[in-house]
């Protein structure tokens, strides 16, 4: 018997959306983008923040997941089968990770600043000294920095033997744009049920080039790629505690930081 393998074409770049206006102006691009990230696309009736039902005393960042029955996460939690990945850079606040583990999720936190290669906290929470990147590491650099391991998320999934992530939380301090691009181009995003990203708008982000208008068009195009993959925005939070700057300017009443949550509506 001959089995034919269907190889999906390799994508090297995302599809850029048409310009918001014929003038290619920053105003038109920014207005379109900011409207997009502040408008939810789907209603979630049962949202929880930081893994807690009681929100009254929680002063942490509002990392928000959707537990509506029509999506898969509530079912996975009930059956103790959910898996959470958390990407961060030296973040002290681990309430979300601890609370999701207490709900029965298998939680893997990736942070290059932790002291040991791996720490197992409780029954379901692992801390890994790994830095998530959008590039393959350069061998010459890796040999001189053996205490830090940098890998793409797809590589880690393969090494861990995980074919899906129910929730991916990311606070990558401006590396989120290229990491998200890599997840889209390599198809990893289709293995994820819900995304919670902190996005940073005070500068273009690591390895994001071009003038201000083209940068915002690129940001917007990334989110439209998510939409094409059936990810719908159900929660948006404007962080007023951070500088209110957009590409180094105090314009558009924009914050430098937003937290956005999407649900993959294919995961029903």
Q: How many helices (H) and strands (E) does the chain have?
A: 7, 12
Token pair 């959008």: residue: 134
- Cα separation, 62 vs 212, in Å, equals 29
Q: Which has more confidence, 91 or 49?
A: 49
Nearest to 61 by CA among 165, 168, 206, 169: 169
Dihedral of alpha carbons 41, 91, 86, 223, sign: positive
Residue 27: name the closest of 247, 264, 239 by CA: 247
Closest to 63 measured CA to CA, from 22, 18, 96: 96
What percentage of residues in the chain have a pLDDT greater than 90? 74
pTM, whole model, 2 decimals?
Answer: 0.90
pLDDT over threshold 90, residue 28: yes
Q: How confident is the model at residue 120 (pLDDT cuts 50, 70, 90)?
A: confident
| Token digits of residue 206 | 């690591």
- The model's confidence at residue 34, banded by pLDDT at 50, 70 and 90, is very high
Q: Which residues make beta-bridge pairs with 151?
A: 132
Q: What is the pLDDT of residue 139?
A: 53
Look at residues 266, 254, 203, 216 and name the one whose alpha carbon lies nearest to residue 16. Answer: 216
Q: Among residues 162, 89, 166, which one has the least CA distance to residue 132?
A: 89
Mean pLDDT in the chain?
89
Q: Please report the domains of the chain, with CATH numbers, ordered by start residue.
A: 26-50+61-244+259-264 (3.40.50)
Cβ proximity of 221 and 16 under 8 Å: yes
The pLDDT, as a whole number, for residue 2 is 47
pLDDT at 8: 54
């Amino acid at each position: 018997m001959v089995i034919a393998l269907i190889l999906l074409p390799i994508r090297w770049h995302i599809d850029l959306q048409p310009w918001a206006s014929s003038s290619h102006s920053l105003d038109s691009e920014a207005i379109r983008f900011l409207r997009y990230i502040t408008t939810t696309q789907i209603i979630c009736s049962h949202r929880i923040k930081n893994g807690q039902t009681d929100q009254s005393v929680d002063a942490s960042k509002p990392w928000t997941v959707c537990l509506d029955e029509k999506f898969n996460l509530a079912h996975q939690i009930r059956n103790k089968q959910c898996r959470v990945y958390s990407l961060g850079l030296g973040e002290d606040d681990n309430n979300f990770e601890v609370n999701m583990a207490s709900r029965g999720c298998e939680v893997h936190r990736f942070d290059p600043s932790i002291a040991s290669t791996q720490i197992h906290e409780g029954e379901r929470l692992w801390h890994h000294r790994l830095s998530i990147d959008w590039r393959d590491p350069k061998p010459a650099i890796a040999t001189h920095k053996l205490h830090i391991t940098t890998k793409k998320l797809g590589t880690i999934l393969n090494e861990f033997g995980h074919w899906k992530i129910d929730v991916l939380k990311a606070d990558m301090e401006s590396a989120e744009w290229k990491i998200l691009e890599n997840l889209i181009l390599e198809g990893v995003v289709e293995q994820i049920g819900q995304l919670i990203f902190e996005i940073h708008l005070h500068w273009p982000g690591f390895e994001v080039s071009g003038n201000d208008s083209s940068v915002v068009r690129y940001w917007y195009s990334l989110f439209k790629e998510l939409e094409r993959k059936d990810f719908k925005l159900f929660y948006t939070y404007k962080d007023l505690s951070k500088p209110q700057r957009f590409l180094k300017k105090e314009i558009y009443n924009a914050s430098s930081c937003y937290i956005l949550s999407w649900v993959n509506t294919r995961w029903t």
